[in-house]
Structure 1
Amino acid sequence: MSLPARFHPDVAAALAAIDAPALRHVFFVACGGSLSIMHPAKFLLDQHGSLASDVYNAAEFIARAPKLLGPDTLVVLCSMTGTTRETTAAGRFAREKGAVTVGLTVEPTSPLGQSVDFPVKFEAPYTTGVPIDAKDSNYSCIYQLVMGLVAARGEEDLTKQLIDSLHNLQTVIDRAQDSFAPLWDRYAEHFAKQDVIYTMASGASYGAAYSFAICVLMEMQWINSQAIHSNEFFHGPFEVLDDKRCFVLLKGCDSTRALDERAEEFLQRFGSSENILVLDADALDLSGIDDRFKGNVAPLIFFDTLWRFIYKVADFRQQVMLEGRRYMKKLSDY
């Protein structure tokens, strides 16, 4: 199989060495924000390939020790800094079991990079403050890995369409920032006054809702939150809805969109519009993205644009973002 020249070189090197047809399972393993990208990666693999997969928190991956883990399995891990202890331990554990391991990190020489067979370097602006092109993000790298595996197994080869789409993604995100800006102006001050904000999504976008809930609202603004799946909402969580409760709903454009639409109808029926922030992927200009990948690029657009929103919220709360955390990166004895 020949990959497009614009494929990430680390991903291409890993794919060249992996016996993709011999694989029978993929484990996507990480913690926190890095775990959130594993959900859309699995969604992409489910939609385009026949290779089975699971998503695991890194510590539970070791504790559960799946019997299926072995030489014919691939373990894909991610840690932004490469220093997440649980994820590094999971990489070592997987290699001890004979699995092939790929580790995504901004620093390939980090503990995670050294614990895996194939480190893959990505760029991230959220801890460095340096803007990046979305094609160099962890989302982009893991999507290239997934679709490269699908093609290497003799299934549909959409690697060119994928890489073309990823190279257009930053322009799409920039347009989305402009499209969503009026929502930030409308909702930021009101949401800044809340002590609870729920997030909701389904399909490829669920990971973005999860990340925004635990790694942004809770970690950086001390706002209680919970990521609710758009269909699970109707199996208990909808009882918290009233005319005072705030929600962020991510309406994707993949095959699960109807689940989000149903949730929105209920939110608007029993909630209050000023408390319901809806980001709709169908309202965006996604030209330049292949139709088959629009659903999977939506969560990256949501993730990126919501950072613009939360900084406006933080200004109203007079609560700094990364520097204001009490425990994260401040303690090591836990």
Structure 2
Amino acid sequence: MNVKDIIREIQANREEGIKDLYLVACGGSLVDMYLSEYFLKSEAKQMRVSLYTSNEFVHAVPKALGSHSLVVVCSHGGNTKESVEAAKTAQEHGAATITLTHNETGALISNSDYNILYKWGEETDVKDNPMAIIFNIAVEALHSTEGYDNYEKVMKGLEQVNTIIAKARVQVAERAKAFAEKYQHENMFYVLSSGASYGHAYGFSICSLMEMQWVHASAIHSGEYFHGPFEVTDKETPYILLMNEGRTRPLDERALTFLKQYGEKIEVVDCKELGINTIDDEVVEFFNPIVFYSILSVYRAELAEIRKHPLETRRYMGKVAY
């Protein structure tokens, strides 16, 4: 069953329909949900949206959760204990529950009304990856409840974005190698972005740098940079700026202007430069993080290669009790 059919069936079987949507996951899977939270906060007139890390959802259950709620829970391996418990909690409160995983035997599947088994790997079309699928769920939920004028533009964008990414990966290949060569010995990065992509600035910090490279990192919203964080700007600390195309681009441009004046180690990854403008202007901002995920995967692979620190290396995750 595809996303459109799932949402249609939920709407048909729920007396009140879908009034609120909860996006629940941990780590990288939670990062995949920031886009959809931003989209619904921006575009929904009535539907409410909330983003939760799984364990908080379990221990501080929102009182609004009920039969009119749609809960989306994602776990790549399908067995993240906090996310399995979150899905159970959603069902116990009568919410419609959609789960996403790459593991066809994952425990998460048995705690859902609908499960989407997604594809994974560089050979897959990004529209079949979790970030795009969850975005598709959010768009379909909004369109089915209150209508969404740009629905067709988003659907077209989902068909276009894989081609954009394929070209962009080639475009940044040498730049990513140069980045890794230049910054291989750094032990701290600040990652800036705004809008739908702030979540990926956070994701690149906690997953790609901290988890996969054991490098200190912190995400900063471009709009918040001037309200405290810019005081630590100097010429010794590296900054990665993810430049969006769309309504929040002026926030990123303002940060870049300051960084160029007072910083020196600055890596700019600009979706506009990478060709995202083939997607309609009215919806292009929602595709920035989908592009950034794939492009920054090139950067992290080069960094892992030159540092001789494979992306799969862990010292705690899956190794000790926690």
TM-score interval, normalised by the smaller of the two chains? over 0.9
Q: Which residue of 21, 30, 47 corresponds with 1:26?
A: 21
2:317 corresponds to: 328
After superposition, the C-alpha distances for 1:106-128 in whole angstroms (9 at most, x for unaligned) are 13542112111111121222xxx
Structure 1 residue 251 displacement after superposition: 0.9
CA distance in 2, matches of 1:316, 1:67: 49
Equivalent residue number for residue 31 of structure 2: 36
- Name the residue aligned to 2:145: 153
The alignment's TM-score, normalised by the length of structure 1, stands at: 0.90
Per-residue Cα deviation, 1:78-132 (whole angstroms, up to 9, x for no partner): 111111111110010011111111111113542112111111121222xxxx521
The aligned counterpart of 2:192 is 200
2:251 is matched with which residue: 244, 259, 263? Answer: 259
Q: Which residue of 1 aligns with 2:273?
A: 283
Higher helix share: 1
Q: Which residue of 2 aligns with 1:317?
A: 307
What does the per-residue CA deviation read over 1:12-71, in whole Å, with 9 as the maximum and x for residues that have no partner?
A: 332122128632221111110011121111112223322111111110111221111111
Gaps of at least 5 residues in structure 1 are 1-8
**1:92, 1:183 → 2: CA distance?**
45
For residue 158 of structure 1, report the CA deviation from its aligned partner: 4.1
Question: What do the CA deviations read for 1:269-292 (whole angstroms, capped 9, x no partner)?
Answer: 1101xx111111111223653333
Report if the CA contact (8 A) 1:147-1:158 is conserved: no
Counterpart amino acid of 1:325? R
Preserved CA contact (<8 Å) 1:42 1:53: yes
Residues 108 and 121, structure 1, Cα contact 8 Å, conserved in 2: yes
Query: 2:40 matched to which residue of 1?
Result: 45
Instruction: Verify the 8 A CA contact 1:166 1:289 in the aligned structure 2.
Output: no
Given residue 156 of structure 2, which amino acid in structure 1 is its aligned partner? D
* Offset, 1:235: 2.1
What is the CA distance between 1:205 and its match in structure 2? 0.5
Worse-superposed segment, 186-195 or 278-287? 278-287
Show the counterpart of 1:191. 183
Q: Distance in 1 between matches of 2:301 and 2:18?
A: 43
Asked if the contact 1:151/1:158 (under 8 Å) is kept, the reply is no
Aligned-pair Cα RMSD in Å: 1.8
1:88 aligned residue: 84
One-letter amino acid of the structure 2 residue matched with residue 259 of structure 1: L
Residue 206 (structure 2) aligns with: 214
1:116 and 2:112 are equivalent in the alignment: yes
Residues 277, 284 of structure 2: 8 Å contact kept: no
Question: Which AA in structure 2 matches 1:303?
Answer: Y
- Alignment correspondent of 2:94: 98
2:290: which partner in 1? 300
**Aligned residue for 2:72?**
76
Does structure 1 retain, via aligned residues, the 8 Å contact 2:245–2:276?
no
Look up the equivalent residue of 1:195 and give its one-letter code: N
Identity of aligned residues (%): 35
- Output the CA distance in 1 between the equivalents of 2:282 and 2:120: 25
TM superposition shift of 1:209: 0.9
- Aligned-partner Cα distance in 2 for 1:237–1:265: 15
Summarize deviations over 1:162-213 as a string: whole Å, max 9, x none: 3332122211001111222342133211211100011111110011111110
Distance 2:79 2:43 in 1: 32
1:134 maps to 2:126: yes
Question: 2: distance between equivalents of 1:35 and 1:157?
Answer: 27
Q: Contact (CA 8 Å) 2:8, 2:144: kept in 1 or not?
A: no
Distance 2:43 2:117 in 1: 25
